[in-house]
Every structure is written in C-alpha cells, then in structure tokens.
Structure 1
Amino acid sequence: MSRIQTLVNNYQKFIDLPWRDVSSEQRIIFCVYEPTEEMTLRYNIPAFKLATEDTGHRWMEYDLTTCFEDWMGKQKYAEAYFAEPEKLLQMPRKFEDYIEESFKEKTADADKNTMIGIVGVGSIFGFITVKEFIEKLADDVDSRIVLFFPGTYSSSPTSNYRFLNAYDNWSYLATPITADVNNF
C-alpha cells in the first residue's frame, strides 16, 4: 500500500470518530505527507472527500495553488512588481487579507458538519507562514479543516511541524495524521 493510501486510511479512521464541540485549534487536522508526493496526494483528494462523505459529513475544498497569481492579477501595479520583485516584500499583509477574504467567500455555507480540505499550501511558501495562515482561518469558520501539509511532523518533545522540510520546526495544536502505519 502506498504512503498516500495509508494516509487516506488513517484519515478515514479519524474522521469516523464522533465529532464534538472543540476549540478552533482542535478542529484543525494536518494530513502530513512528503513534499515529493504532492501529485499523488492531489490525485487522491477524491478519496478524502469520499471518506468524509461516507461518515455523514459534508466536504468542501479550498485550493491555494493559484491564490498568489489571482491576487497579483488584481493589483494595479502588477507589472511594476514583476520589474522590481523586492517591492512585494512590503505587501504580505495585503496578500494575507486577500486569502482570508477568498476563503470566507468560498466557504460561506460551511457549517459544523463540514470538513474543508485545504490543498496547495506550498504556494504560500515565502509569503505567509502556515501557522499564521491556519490560525487566522480557524477562527473564521465553525467547521473542521483538514490542511494537506507537505512536510514532516514530530511528536517529540512537542507537536512540531516542518513545512516543506525547510522552515525550522514550529509547534501547533492541530491533530496530526501521518502515513505511519500505527498513526491510529
């Protein structure tokens, strides 16, 4: 069985557990996979959707892959930013706001019985940290969020995530689901 299929199976075991009212951080699930398995993961997103729906929950998907180019295309001075990309370093807050508004718009009808699958998180690399991104979105919805996280997870000594195997470890309270056989 492939590591991504094991990840799907572990997700299904977790999602099948009864949902209860929990804090915003506890409503977040990180499905952690190797960055080199991005295409395989994306191919298997329908399996995550099916696993969610099989347990009686709704599924919504939010894809970050084209967020930056969508935002950049709406900028009045987009061509100037391409000529002098260092000017973009002054604008991460505006990009964050754009993502937050886009997320709210696309998930407006999500409820407590909805799982929102976020894919393409690698496309925000260098603009926004995953921690800032997910903390901002978690408070905006009552639903559960599964973030497909390309990187690594270590439970020792605390829950540490390493995004794209590049950033230093950071701790977050999300529930980790990995492709480890004994994850659940």
Structure 2
Amino acid sequence: MSEIDLLLREYERFVALPWQSHVAGPERVWFAVYDPSQERRLRLRVPEFEIATTKAGHTWRFVDLTDAFAHWMEGHKYRQAYFQRPQLMTDAVLAGFKATVVEQIVTALTGPDVDANTVVAVGGLASLFGFVRASEVMEAVAPSIRGRLLVFFSGSYENKMYRLLDARDGWNYLAIPITAQAQR
C-alpha cells in the first residue's frame, strides 16, 4: 500500500471516532502528515478524504492556499517594485500576506454552512513556506474552529515536532497528527 493509501485509511478510522466537544481550538486541529514527495498523489486523493468525512456523518469544506501568494501579490500596490527588488519584501510587508491567509481560513471556518460537525480541510500549506510561518497561521485561526480543522501537512512529525517540508526548524503544536502509521 502506498503512503497516501495508508494515510487515507488512518484518516477514515480517525474521522469516525467520536469528537470531544469541550476541547480548545489547537486541539481541534488535525495534521494529515505526509512526505513532501507525495504532494501530487495527495492532491489527487483529496476527494476521497471528503468521502470518508461524509461517510462518518460530518460535513466538509475545503480551502486551497496554493495560489494565495499569487493572488495577494496580484492585488498589491507595489508588486512591480517587489518583482524588480525582492529584498524590499520585508517581514512587515509579509505580515499583510499572513493576515490575508488567516482571513481566508477564518472565513471558511466561520461560514454559515460550518458548524461543530464540519471538517474544514486546508490544502496547499506548503506554498506558504518562505513567506509566513505555518505555526503562526495555525495559532491565529485556532480560536475560530467550530468543528475540526484538517491540515494537509507536507512534511514530518517526529518526537512531537512538526516540520513543514522537513525544514530545519520545527515546532511543537497541540495538533493531533494523522500519519500513515497508526498512532498508539
């Protein structure tokens, strides 16, 4: 079985478990962790995660961040200057991008069709790499989670540390890991 087959099987088992209703936002986050080399295979299988979710009696909403930076940059007043001199894109400028990403996810999490029984899934998180820290985005959106937030996480989880794209720096987060290997 492929890594994505195993991850999907583990997700099917996990999403069918009873949900605790009185948990904090960060504990409502699930990271479906997979090797970055499996990104295209995972993307092809996202509809199967939706099927597993609805089969377990939950509703599904999907947010794709893949093009978030391109859309943000397209509307930016100084985009031409940033293309000519990328060093002008400071942390202060990128804070605006982070705010846009947070708003996109929060809008999905708080939509009128989202309730405590909804899985809001986020794809394309790796496209934020180098622009904003995924940990900061997760911390910002956690208070808005009504049901569960499933994050397709292209990276690794080891010793309670998450590493997006297997980057050198990782972070310890309360999210529940779903991996191709069953958690004991």
Relative to the length of structure 2, the TM-score reads: 0.93
In structure 1, distance between residues paired with 2:146 and 2:131: 26
Q: Determine what percentage of the aligned residue pairs are the same residue.
A: 38
Matched residue, 1:77: 78
- Return the alpha-carbon distance in structure 1 between the equivalents of residues 145 and 124 of structure 2: 19
Corresponding residue of 2:156:
152
Q: How far did 1:139 drift? A: 1.2
Q: Does 1:9 align with 2:13?
A: no
2: distance between equivalents of 1:61 and 1:39?
17
Q: Which runs of 5+ in 2 are unaligned?
A: none
Query: Which residue type is aligned with residue 173 of structure 2?
Result: Y
Alignment of 1:1-184 (within 5 A): 1-21=1-21, 22-89=23-90, 90-107=92-109, 108-109=111-112, 110-154=114-158, 156=159, 159-180=160-181, 182-183=182-183
**Kept in 1: contact 2:28–2:145 (CA 8 A):** no
What is the distance in 2 between the residues matched to 1:62 and 1:32?
17
Deviates more, 1:132-141 or 1:100-109: 100-109
Deviation string, structure 1 residues 144-168 (Cα, Å, up to 9, x no partner): 10101111111x3xx1111101132
Preserved CA contact (<8 Å) 2:7 2:179: yes
1:132 is paired with a residue whose SS is helix
Post-superposition offset of 1:117: 0.7
- Cα deviation for residue 82 of structure 1 reads 0.5
Shift in Å, 1:102: 2.1
Mapped to 1, the partners of 2:45 and 2:183 lie a distance apart of 19
Does the 8 Å CA contact 2:154/2:164 hold for their aligned counterparts? yes
1:57 Cα deviation from its structure 2 partner = 0.4
**TM-score if structure 1 supplies the norm length?**
0.93
Note closer, same or farther for the CA distance 1:138–1:14 as it changes in structure 2 (3 Å cut).
same
Q: Which residue identity does 2:107 align to in structure 1?
A: E
Unaligned runs of 5+ in 1: none
Q: Report how far residue 106 of structure 1 moved.
A: 3.7
Whole-angstrom CA distance in 1 between matches of 2:104 and 2:146: 17
RMSD: 1.3
In structure 2, distance between residues paired with 1:88 and 1:112: 38
